Amino acid sequence: MFALLKKELWGYFGSWNAWIIMALFSIVSSLFLFFFDNNFNIFNIGTASLQSFFVLAPWIFMFIMPAICMKSIAEEEQNGTLYWLFSQPLKISDILMGKYLACVLVGIFCLLPSLVYFYTVYTLSVPKGNLDLGMIRGSYLGIFLLIGGFCALGILASSVVKNQVLAYLIGLFLNFIFWFGWDQLASYQLMGKADYFIQNVGFSHHFTSFSRGVIDSKDVFYFLLIIILCLVGSHFFIQKKK
């Protein structure tokens, strides 16, 4: 698994793929946080806080994680190299975890520019360093788990279809449903008491707790459960291709 993980990481960072994605994440988040006149702009808010970043970041990751994951299985099958992997002394779980962890690490590397945002807000706060560190720690943990969830959905999409573009679109659709769709459906209050359970299916409800600095084991378990279910589903579809 680790040999495949190393190969996958080299495939991302040895080419321009990962660097372009990281640059796009950095540029888009910087424009919204410091330059564009909008509700995310830190200077407009007038409060030394990274809350705007943690509200914006999930929407950006919703788009870029399927782009990172779309080629993981679909490209291997399209090029015929997936069957070569099957012939190697690797379990399907090794193939799956190697590719999944590589995608997650690329997503986490995209967060590196946010350390600059943290330093900027830390310096500008009055008095210097007057930040809610508990909220920041919780939000980073929530983002890590959210990246894991988006990535698991992206891997699932890539294992279902052979075409990379279709894998991206399906992954984006799944990410949108889990980040925004379930929560929005519950807001219409059409299902009575079931609305609460529908809301709990979505990522947004659980991520909000982390963004307030509250680390609840139920929210951690939820993300881990979604990740495991998606990986089990991916394992099933890859097994069918063998």
188-215 as b/e, with b when 16 or more CB fall inside 10 Å? eeeeeeeeeebbebbbbbbbebbbebee
Q: Where are the domains of the chain?
A: 2-241
Res. 224 pLDDT band, cuts 50 70 90:
very high
Q: Is the CB of residue 71 less than 8 Å from the CB of residue 164?
A: yes
Average model confidence (pLDDT) across the chain: 87
**Angle, vertex CA 146, rays to CA 92 and CA 217, nearest 5:** 95
Digit-coded pLDDT (tens) for 160-201: 998 899 999 999 999 999 998 877 777 777 666 677 777 778
pLDDT tens by residue, 28-66: 999 988 888 888 888 777 676 788 899 999 999 999 999
Sort 12 into a burial class: Cβ within 10 Å, 0-12 / 13-18 / 19+. buried
pTM of the model: 0.92
Residue 229 is predicted with a pLDDT of 96
Q: What angle (nearest 5°) sits at the alpha carbon of residue 239, between those of residues 233 and 242?
A: 150
Instruction: Residue 55: name the closest of 68, 65, 41 by CA.
Output: 41
Lowest mean pLDDT among 5-9, 24-28, 80-84, 201-205: 80-84
Helix 194-201 and helix 203-211, axial crossing angle in degrees, nearest 10? 70
